Structure 1
Amino acid sequence: ARVVRSEGGFIWACKNYDGDVMSDMVSTAFGSLAMMTSVLVSPDGNYEYEAAHGTVTRHYYRYLKGESTSTNPMATIFAWTGALAKRGELDGNEALVKFAKTLEEACLDTLASGVMTKDLCGLAEGVETKPVDSLEFIRAIRANLEAKLA
């Protein structure tokens, strides 16, 4: 209950399976696993960034058939930006860290504009939503990213 009521600001260390169970439970309070990332840290200081959700096999098979899908890529993108930022931090590569943060901002700006995949439209508050498919959503993020990098 504390986690659901919290505004963050703490680290919750769990073993892998326990973290999977807890993230699934907490995500129900917010309606979607598609926005959650996870960072695994080994005792020797290695990091793994991942989307907290599983795969969307049925969407992938629809995509292979050439059908439109509405798969939300936010957690996957944020797993990549987290990993890129960490790599940049470890290497002293500020440009890489800045790129990762800029991509995250572009993603959030896209959502704030109301452009989002259908799974999020019912959860959004305070913004008029425009449901789009996966490809349109990624294109909108790209346009925001390119504008920020220009």
Structure 2
Amino acid sequence: MENFDPVAAWAGVLRTHAAVLPKLERALAPTGLPLTWYDVLLVTNAAPERRLRMTELGRRAVVSRERVSRVVSELERAGLVERQPNPDDKRSSYAAITTEGRRRLRAAAPIYLAAVREHYLAHLTADEVRVVADALGKVVQAEEA
């Protein structure tokens, strides 16, 4: 372990991301949902009342905070999300998943999960998955605090 380069762990995260994401995108392509759309729909669907304030969506989605508004606009044009005014704060709005958005998300989920299993989880043992999840979870918790 004394010859281990700690930067290799970071490089591994970046290289894994670069290797796996395009394969997830290709797997989702037949569903008509780009990965960014899938992510925003997934996060919105999991929220209370299946809606989130745009600022909260920007924090929870994997899409950058700068891009989340554009992705929501694309989803809105496709009829998969709707913006709803926030009655408590007129300056903000909610992104709410529509019935069609939920239908498309449910249809794409098995394809997405199969691609995650094939291109990521299949290469790791259950113990490795736990270690990676725990370790990266610590980083996310610290950096998002």
Shorter chain as denominator, the TM-score bin is: under 0.3
Greater relative CO, 1 or 2 (CA 8 Å, sep 6+) = 2
Larger radius of gyration: 2
| TM-score, length of structure 1 as denominator length | 0.26
